[in-house]
């Protein structure tokens, strides 16, 4: 199944895509959140759709899409997980995964604006494959790790490099700004993806190709990442692990190139759709 959430910001309703069309499934009276994933919600949704597929309300074309999951308990990110990206940023490929956290308040829809933070000088882009946890995971064995994956989605791990690298402390302060986690357009359940380690992912800025990679080049694969992360924290249903970005980020260019107001970012991953984000200056709401 392909899961979407549609409607105004913070008022999204659950939906699905069938035959290339978007349909509302809010009659299930559930959102795609921890409760949903942790109580076999995908099975309930599948049954509901099968029983009501001829009567589902179609979502009007042009309706805003939100992130395909409701706000998770955490967004866990993996740094330097492609050797070409580590090389371009003058970093040594890590012996173990680099883990950092992204604020859940950064989560927005796939086509929402990216807001450059106040005092930002180095806002950057990172196309990534994100996975969503389907059931509580703690001390998971690598051989069983894929059983804990509900599905996959497209993620732009927007990053402020000065905040991240030059302002002391951990990476987190450059990763969790508002709008820094656009996700979607949809969540594809695990059965929709033939092989998550053979997916092309790409990103353009102003129609210029910046990133063009493949998940076959992950340093640490998905089962390892799920198992590894679960050794350090309990992963709850609906939690996100974003698996890292390939080469082509602004930080790695000589000279560096960073996002400016008026820029347009487009990105996509095989089977997971495409997204488009306009870049704007931060405005106090």
β-pairing, 107-108 vs 273-281, is unpaired
Report residue 55's pLDDT band, with 50, 70 and 90 as the boundaries: very high
Distance CA 167, CA 161 (A): 9
172 in a structural domain? yes
**Tens-digit pLDDT profile for residues 92-115:** 888 999 999 999 999 999 999 999
Q: Is residue 67 part of a domain?
A: no
Does one domain contain both 32 and 129? no
- For residue 275, give the CATH number of its domain: 3.90.850.10
pTM (predicted TM-score): 0.96
The per-residue pLDDT for range 237-281, each reduced to its tens digit, is 999 999 999 999 999 999 999 999 999 999 999 999 999 999 999
pLDDT band at 77 (very low <50, low <70, confident <90, very high): very high
Is the same domain home to 92 and 172? Answer: yes
Q: Are residues 45 and 111 in the same domain?
A: no
Q: What is the pLDDT of residues 193-202, one digit of tens each?
A: 999 999 999 9
- Asked, for residue 61, whether it belongs to a domain, the answer is no
* pLDDT classification of 173: cutoffs 50, 70, 90: very high
> Do 117 and 246 fall into the same domain?
yes
Residue 57, domain member (yes or no): no
Task: Provide the pLDDT for residue 285.
Answer: 63
Does 83 fall in a domain? yes
For residues 27 and 148, state if they share a domain.
no
Contact at 8 Å (CB) between 6 and 22? yes
Number of domains in the chain: 2
- What is the rounded average pLDDT of the residues 145-173? 94
Answer yes or no: do 94 and 228 share one domain. Answer: yes
Nearest CA among 128, 142, 104 for reference residue 238:
104
**Percent of the chain with pLDDT strictly greater than 90:** 91
> 268 is in which domain, residue-wise?
75-281
Whether residue 17 has pLDDT greater than 80: yes
């Amino acid at each position: 199944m392909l899961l979407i959430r549609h409607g105004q910001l913070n008022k999204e309703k659950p939906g699905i895509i069938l035959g290339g069309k978007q349909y509302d499934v809010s009659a299930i009276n559930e959102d795609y959140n921890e409760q949903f994933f942790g109580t076999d919600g995908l099975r309930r949704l599948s049954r509901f759709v099968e029983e009501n597929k001829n009567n589902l309300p179609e979502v009007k074309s042009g309706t805003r899409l939100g992130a395909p999951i409701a706000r998770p308990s955490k967004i866990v990110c993996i740094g330097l997980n492609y050797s070409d990206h580590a090389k371009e940023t003058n970093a040594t490929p890590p012996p173990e995964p680099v883990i950092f956290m992204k604020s859940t308040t950064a989560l927005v829809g796939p086509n929402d604006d990216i807001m450059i933070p106040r005092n930002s000088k180095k806002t950057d882009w990172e196309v990534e494959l994100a996975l969503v946890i389907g059931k509580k995971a703690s001390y998971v064995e690598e051989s069983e790790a894929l059983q804990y994956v509900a599905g996959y989605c497209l993620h732009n791990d927007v990053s402020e490099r000065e905040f991240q690298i030059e302002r002391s402390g951990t990476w987190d302060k450059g990763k969790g700004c508002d709008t820094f986690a656009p996700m979607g357009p949809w969540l594809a359940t695990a059965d929709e993806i033939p092989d998550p380690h053979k997916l092309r992912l790409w990103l353009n800025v102003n129609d210029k190709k910046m990133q063009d990679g493949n998940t076959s080049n992950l340093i640490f694969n998905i089962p390892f990442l799920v198992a590894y992360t679960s050794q350090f924290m309990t992963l709850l249903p609906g939690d996100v692990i974003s698996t890292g970005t390939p080469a082509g980020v602004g930080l790695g260019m000589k000279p560096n190139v960073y996002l400016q107001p008026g820029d347009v970012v487009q990105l996509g991953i095989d089977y997971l759709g495409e997204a488009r984000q306009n870049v704007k200056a931060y405005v106090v709401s």
